[in-house]
Amino acid sequence: MTVLFESASLIPTKLLKKYFSDLMRRYKANPDSAFQIHTVKPEEVIPSNTLNFQSKCHYTLHSIYYDPHSDRFKQVDSYNSYAAVGYQAKRLPSSVLNETCRVSPSITAFLNILCRNNLSLVDQFCSFLTEAALTDGIRFFVLYTKAHKAALQSFLSETLSFTASHISFKPYAKSKQRICPTLNQITKPTHLHSLFLAQSTGKCTVLVDDVLPSNGNLPTLQNLIDGKHISIKSDFAPLQHYNNRLCIVCVTDKSSTMEYLHKKELKAHILDFSLTESAASRPIELNSTDATWIYNTLIPYGLKLKTLKGQKISDPAPFDVQRTPPPLAETACIRAFFQLCQKQNDCCCDTHEVYQSYCQFLAVTQNGRKTEFSKIQFNKKFREISKSKFIYKRPHRSRKGPSPYCYIGLKLPETFPQSEAAPSAPQEDCLMRYLKHIEKYQLTGQMKTTLDIPPSKK
């Protein structure tokens, strides 16, 4: 293993010994987890919005970016090295560039139980994976799920193990089931060392459990998220400083935790699966082939989405499979309800009866939708629509009780048409078609040396 030091004064020798001791320990335990590290001048700029792929034995990074004008992925010119140890670019395995694979039923089922037919949420999931893999991407995400916390944690720590930081930690007595440290624990000096070493080997993410940080540790956690100077104290080296680039990912099944981390000064980026997720009919197991597909297909596609959004330009090759139509606006729903009402002179309906009938109309015709309007808001809008057809006044029926306002001559519908049938293609089939569209942007061996090819036309 060769290390080139062009600025040896940056990092003390003892700290480097600690780093390489940890590297050799991991190599003996699992040779596939070790990397050859190279160090160059720290002032070299790492390109933004690029995905960096590196093998275990080669010096050159393949730094890839998306060009929206040609709808191609291209390689950054004259960039084949790192910054100083501890400041390297995040890395993805370059072995995936030589493998062509297709989306598996397991991946489709995994995304289906999380996102169902919400393709915008699939896009958000792609963008999250990309941000985690970008060297200067977003550094704090919270994934909220009511039913699949363990599955998401396993996906991030085991399926994507090449990019995940595996930090040793001591679980609390009452939490021996945890597979990762907590938000509170990673601010401790011991874990700050581990974060530094993980960043030095090009890792991308650190998975944390959803135990909230104490007030005393909030400033340190804030510095980690903001990428500010973090101080490392130890018995074998002087005080050191480094800037965190790892993406901290917290998976939680508690809405209160999600809201706290989003509203607090931490300002977490939220990915909410609670409104779309469904139960899994059987356990879903993802393997190394699935991981390869994610690395060379899903993450590059997220880079395309980020580039298009950042440059505020439209997609040159948009998804052409028909998506689920958006729900009708509330006013349009009221007009549709009005069309079902009939005029009959001997009928009279008060405002409460009309409002209840409208709520039932929404539930039947709009797939269980609930109105956003209060009774007063609905009545105001319904009066505007119906004033030319029905008389609105308060009849004096009795002096003993209240006399509510009524629509004279209004007969409410007795039945409502059922909601429109779902698209002919099942939800999972619609998702499968979308994943096939994403597959056009797969990075494969077809890219050869230039990495400059158009998306597949298959």
Backbone angles phi, psi at 373, to 5 degrees: -95, 145
What does the pLDDT read at residue 11? 58
**What confidence score (pLDDT) does residue 78 get?**
45
Angle at 128 between CA 126 and CA 134, to 5 degrees: 105
* Banded model confidence at residue 126, pLDDT cuts 50, 70, 90: very high
Helix, strand, coil distribution of the chain in percent, nearest 5: 40, 15, 45
Q: Where residue 454 falls among pLDDT bands split at 50, 70, 90?
A: very low
Instruction: Give 305's pLDDT tier (boundaries 50, 70, 90).
Output: very high
**pLDDT exceeds cutoff 70 at 288:** yes
- For the cut 90, the answer to whether the pLDDT of residue 42 exceeds it is no
DSSP three-state, residue 166: coil
User: Mean pLDDT, to the nearest integer, of 88-103?
Assistant: 82
Structure-model confidence comparison of residues 189 and 34, the more confident one: 189
CA 288, 289, 292, 298 torsion-angle sign: negative
Bigger pLDDT: 364 or 356? 356
pLDDT at 130 over 60: yes
Extract the tokens encoding 91.
């890395």
Q: Are strands 51-54 and 62-67 parallel, antiparallel or unpaired?
A: antiparallel
CA distances from 419 to 320, 366, 367, 416 (A): 25, 6, 6, 9
pLDDT averaged over the chain? 78
Q: Averaged over 104-118, what is the pLDDT? A: 90
- The model's pLDDT over 413-427, given as tens digits with 9 standing for 90+, comes to 988 876 654 333 444
pLDDT above 90: percentage of residues in the chain: 18
What value does the mean pLDDT take over residues 296-305?
A: 93
The beta-strand segments (E) located in 351-434 are 391-393, 406-411
Q: What is the mean pLDDT of residues 194-207?
A: 85
CB-based contact 35:21 (threshold 8 Å): no
- pLDDT bracket for residue 449 (50, 70, 90): very low
pLDDT tens digits for 3-17?
333 333 345 666 667
Q: What is the mean pLDDT of residues 362-368?
A: 78
Q: Is the pLDDT of residue 383 over 70?
A: yes
What pLDDT, on a 0 to 100 scale, did the predictor assign at position 82? 45
What is the rounded CA–CA span in Å between residue 81 and residue 176?
41
CA 306 from centroid of its chain's CA atoms: 12
Q: Is the pLDDT of residue 208 over 60?
A: yes
* Res 81 pLDDT > 80: no
Lowest average pLDDT, out of 93-97, 159-163, 285-289, 389-393, goes to: 93-97
Q: What is the pLDDT of residue 28?
A: 67
Answering whether pTM is above 0.85, one says: no
Q: In 10 A of CB 448, how many CB atoms?
A: 10
**Model confidence pLDDT, tens digit, residues 321-344:** 554 445 567 888 898 899 899 998
Q: Which residue has the higher pLDDT, 82 or 392?
A: 392
pLDDT at 79 over 70: no
Q: Which of 33-37, 288-292, 385-389 has the highest mean pLDDT?
A: 288-292
Q: Is the pLDDT of residue 294 over 90?
A: yes
> Of the given ranges (67-71, 182-186, 234-238, 364-368), which has the lowest mean pLDDT?
234-238
Alpha-carbon gap, residue 392 to 90, rounded angstroms: 68
Question: Helix and strand tally (H, E) in the chain?
Answer: 13, 14
